[in-house]
Amino acid sequence: MKRRLVIAAHADDETIGCGGTMAKYSQHGATTFVGVLTRDQSDDVHTVRRSEAEQAWQKLGVTDSGWAEMRSHPLTVSPTAVDAVTGWIESVRPDIVFLPHPGEDDPDHAAVAAIVKSARILARSGCILLGYEVWTPIARPSVFEDVSDFVAVKGEAINCFRSQVADRDYASAALALNRYHGVISGRGQHVEAFGMIS
């Protein structure tokens, strides 16, 4: 069975960046574990964010999830963060790990790559690392996933994060980027693009 581990700095990063791919793999029988590294400082806000995430992930077919509950802004490459991801890799034993690509402008997003690369070494895993886009497009993506049949559910999942989309239409932005990649790559109507991380 195919096993996918999707790691996010903040809950909603993963849905924006690779929600279509998550839904597609789920429909094709893969198990998907989502690991979120940070939490909101307010307990009330964090509770809302977790509830929103669970609703979104249910739509995408996520099998299980975990929260490291690290401090955000800044998320640092700390032993605690590396240990959390190491544990996820060891328990899930993924063939592919999805994470924000290291060129992301948001410092928390960018920090995830160093955390995951260190964790992969500690876990002695040969898993493939694929970087996804959240706020910053990848200049030269190398992997393309046709998610044309899953853009509707991706949009619905993004909009589950009501606290985040109240003043920003992340769904329209993400799907427009997917349409752009589809046109430029010729791989489908809507395409999620990824970068290989060594």
Q: Which tens digits make up the pLDDT trace of 67-79?
A: 999 988 899 999 9
Residue 4 binned pLDDT confidence (cut-offs 50, 70, 90): very high
Cα dihedral 155, 158, 163, 168 sign: negative
Write the CB contacts of 157 (distance below 8 Å, at least 6 apart in sequence).
Answer: 15, 19, 23, 56, 57, 59, 60
- The 8-class DSSP code of residue 122 comes to H
The per-residue pLDDT for 75 is 95
Q: Phi and psi dihedrals of 129, rounded to 5?
A: -110, 125
**What mean pLDDT do residues 41-69 have?**
96
Between these two residues, 162 and 1, which has the higher pLDDT value? 162
Using alpha carbons, select from 151, 140, 144 the residue that is nearest to residue 187. Answer: 144
